[in-house]
Amino acid sequence: MDVFLNLLLSVIRLCTPIFVAGLGNMFCERVGVLNLGAEGMMISGAFMAVLGSYMTGNAWCGVLCGILGGIAAGGIHALVCVEFGGLHAISGLGLTMFCRGVTKFLCVAIFGSTYSPYVSALQTTDILAKLPMAGSYLAQLSPLVYAAILLGIGAHYIVFHTTYGLRMRALGDDPRAVETAGIDVWKMRYSGVLICGALCGLAGAYMGLGQLDRYFDGMISGKGMIAVIAVKMGNWSPLGIFLTALLLGLFDVIQLKLQISKTLALSPEMLAMIPYLAGIAVLCMKRKQGSRPTALDTVYLRNRYKL
């Protein structure tokens, strides 16, 4: 029982960043912007969160800084893709490389190494410890995990039950139809990309302050890319993304356990490939497009830039 619950806790810990970043990407893709910059937004979020916590000594201020860091990175992507009609894939990949470089530079410049010192973090939720039965387990999770669950429910409500969600779903399918309905396509697209930046920033902050209590170069290690895949596998719905994130988190736990137990005589780098291979395998099996926004990855320019 204890083994099982501990395993479950590990899965939840590892799936949370994928889930939160996946939610962000869902907003971005639902307004028609592909975001391969999720990785960069998460790197920016993680670094800014740790830096914020380091400067203020308050982990919650750190989380706020992380979210702002993600929004800043999202702002670059929005400017390139929404305002100036750049190619989404190129902008996203460029953003990731840019964030990787800038954070490494700042990390060395501020902390004098590619590792930050330990900072105050949010690894446990102590107030839940007093609850009967599961309290001792629930307290072992970061408060950000609970925030993620609330965000998931909120996202579901927004997408399927509000006018903003209706407009967003319409925009992902046909920006021209939305513009002629008298809706500001660009404001909507900006909002989607910036929400994505905020959520990716939060996911990064969770990795820096919820899973660990420091920042080091390369710590995001592809989680942002996994989140992009999770959106497709989760069929652009919060619930689907949650289930996908759980699955991918499980694979992550399995590979970590295998690394520690050394039952398989494989190098840790080979084992680390397991969650990614699982992601690719599932993508190959999933042929149907499902709720894929049909106008995903399309450039839609304002009148003044046309011809």
Partner 1 sequence: MEYAVEMRHIRKQFRTVVANDDVSLAVRPGTVHAVIGENGAGKTTLMNILYGLYLPDAGQILIDGKERHLRSATDAISCGIGMVHQHFMLIPRLSVADNVVLGSEPKKGLRYDRQAAAEAVARVCREYGLSIDPKRPVREISLGMQQRVEIVKMLYRGANIIILDEPTAVLTPQEIDELGRTLSQLKKRGKTILIITHKLEEVMDFSDDITVLRNGRHVVTVPKAETDIPSLTAYMVGRDIHLGGQKQETHFQGSVLEMQNVSYRRDGREVLKDISLTVRKGEILGIAGIDGSGQTELTELIAGVLPCDRGSVLYQGEDVTRRSIAQRKATGIAFIPQDRHKHGLILDFSVEENLLLGMQRKSQFIRRRFLQDRKAIHQMAENSIQDFDIRPADSANKASALSGGNQQKVIVAREVGNQPTLIVADQPTRGVDIGAIESIHDILVRHRNVGGAVVLASLELDEVMMLSDRIAVMYDGRIVGILSAAEATREKIGLMMVGRVSETEVPQ
Interface residue with partner 1 among 55, 162, 273, 280 (CB under 8 A) is 162
Q: Is 289 in the site for partner 1 (CB under 8 A)?
A: no
Please classify residue 289 by burial: count the beta carbons closer than 10 Å to its beta carbon, then call 0-12 exposed, 13-18 middle and 19+ buried: exposed
**Shortest reach from residue 161's CB to partner 1, in Å:** 6
Place of tokens 């988190």: 249
Q: Is 169 in the site for partner 1 (CB under 8 A)?
A: yes
Q: Is 161 in the site for partner 1 (CB under 8 A)?
A: yes
**Shortest reach from residue 87's CB to partner 1, in Å:** 18
Alpha carbon distance 64, 62 (integer Å): 5
Q: Is 178 in the site for partner 1 (CB under 8 A)?
A: yes
Interface residue with partner 1 among 93, 139, 174, 258 (CB under 8 A) is 174
Site map (CB under 8 A) of partner 1, residues 240-279, x = contact: ----------------------------------------
Q: Is 150 in the site for partner 1 (CB under 8 A)?
A: no
**Shortest reach from residue 151's CB to partner 1, in Å:** 16
Pick the piece of the chain touching partner 1 (CB under 8 A) from 90-98, 115-123, 160-168, 224-232. Answer: 160-168
C-alpha distances in Å from residue 54, one per residue of 34, 61, 116, 145, 252 = 33, 10, 9, 21, 29
Tokens of 293: 């926004």
Which DSSP string corresponds to 254-276? HHHHHHHH--S-S-HHHHTTHHH
Q: Which helix (H) or strand (E) holds 91?
A: helix 88-111
For residues 176 and 257, which CB has a smaller minimum distance to partner 1 in the complex?
176
For residues 127 and 181, which CB has a smaller minimum distance to partner 1 in the complex?
181
**In the chain, what's the furthest Cα-to-Cα distance?**
67
**Shortest reach from residue 178's CB to partner 1, in Å:** 7
Site map (CB under 8 A) of partner 1, residues 179-218, x = contact: xxxxxx----------------------------------
For residues 40 and 240, which CB has a smaller minimum distance to partner 1 in the complex?
240
For residues 114 and 298, which CB has a smaller minimum distance to partner 1 in the complex?
298
Tokens of 134: 């599961």
Pick the piece of the chain touching partner 1 (CB under 8 A) from 25-33, 105-113, 139-147, 157-165. Answer: 157-165
Residue 263: how many CA atoms within 13 Å on its side-chain side? 6
Alpha carbon distance 56, 133 (integer Å): 36
Q: What are the phi and psi torsion angles at 303 (to 5°)?
A: -50, -45
**Shortest reach from residue 157's CB to partner 1, in Å:** 8
Which DSSP string corresponds to 12-72? HHHHHHHHHHHHHHHHHHHTT---TTHHHHHHHHHHHHHHHHHHHS-HHHHHHHHHHHHHH
Number of residues that bind partner 1 (CB under 8 A): 22
Three-class SS of residue 115?
strand
Alpha carbon distance 81, 89 (integer Å): 9
Pick the piece of the chain touching partner 1 (CB under 8 A) from 49-57, 58-66, 166-174, 247-255. Answer: 166-174
**Residues binding partner 1 (CB under 8 A):** 161-163, 165-167, 169-170, 173-174, 176-184, 291, 303, 307
